[in-house]
A = this chain, B = another copy of it.
């Protein structure tokens, strides 16, 4: 584990906003903080789900970019390994002790492919493929380094990003993988990324049912060619229940469930309630830094402290104040009762957790109001 438990004071040069044993109240703001109790419950809940369904969970490290969290998910949430999106993320996860990593994305640059092959000397390495030429390049690198790279053929099952159409195009690539030295065909990648944040239950369910059908039909077509799918992978926090109960997917890839965010609070279950099995455990810790108008406070968490692509943050546990506007360095908080004072602290639920984590160097992990440990955001900014 990389968890830091010895630093007891903030260190500016290392951008560490807290020390172990500090009261949360004293942590420098803005900081990214984790409520460990809630976080741990989230990890365990997903563990119960996969056990009940008899499936695997390859947790997605693109959310947290942290080797500490990855190891915790493996140890306490039954995760079989990790997903990530970049070769550099995979490298930092393996350096941090993870032994089984899927880059759930295409790797087409020759230098990146070479790094991926080198990484396969140290860990089980899997990658997604949606191009025949890419199969040749992956094979050449695997042969060069004497390794096996496992390949999942990616189906675009509705997100409109990477991946080929279900059925024949998948079979064609799978066949090429099986006949390429250094590669192993390990199954399918079928993540419906565009469904995760669909707020309406029935609409979300319908999108996944459509995806499941495409995937099931493709698995059957592959089986007819004696191509077996060890892995049928996909699913995220917004839809995992559907894929996990489908009998077709056998490996979940959820990320956000450990933290949740403000947009996931808008994703509803079949009763029209917020998906309730996972709790908000991740917050931006911010201070009031100016309050010259009676009804408005200014806090120190603006655009550089979060990503607002999915909407503004929500203030946790307060209905008397509201975060209403975000500029580079400031958040404007509506304070109709004039209840906030300079240096008051607030917990913001980020609008979107993944890109918010990517601007911080450290997770400040607390329990019962005291900082328990610090986790580096190991792969922060590791984009290439």
Instruction: Identify which of A220-228, A258-266, A353-361 touches chain B.
Output: A353-361
Q: Is A237 an interface residue (CB 8 A)?
A: no
Tell me if A115 is interfacial: C-beta within 8 Å of chain B. yes
Chain B binder among A26-34, A39-47, A240-248: A26-34
- How many copies of this chain are found per oligomer? 2
Q: Quick one: CB contact mask for A2-18 with B, threshold 8 Å, 1 for yes?
A: 00000000101101010
Complex alpha-carbon distance, A293 and B129, angstroms: 14
The docked-state distance in angstroms from the alpha carbon of A17 to that of B311 is 31
A139 lies within 8 A of chain B by Cβ: no
A359-378 interface (Cβ within 8 A of B): 359-361
Q: Is the CB of B342 within 8 A of A360?
A: no
- Whether A289 lies near B106 (C-beta < 8 A) is yes
How many Å lie between the Cα of A88 and that of B14 in the bound state? 10
For A162, give its contact among B156, B290, B326 (CB under 8 Å): B290
Chain B, Cβ-Cβ closest to A354: B328
- B156 and A292 within 8 A (CB): yes
CB–CB B327/A193 < 8 A: yes
A160 contacts partner chain B, Cβ-Cβ < 8 Å: yes
**At the interface, yes or no: A305 with Cβ under 8 Å from chain B?**
yes
Contact A358:B290 (CB < 8 A) given known A29-B384, A342-B134: no
Residues from 175 to 218 in A contacting B, C-beta threshold 8 Å: 193
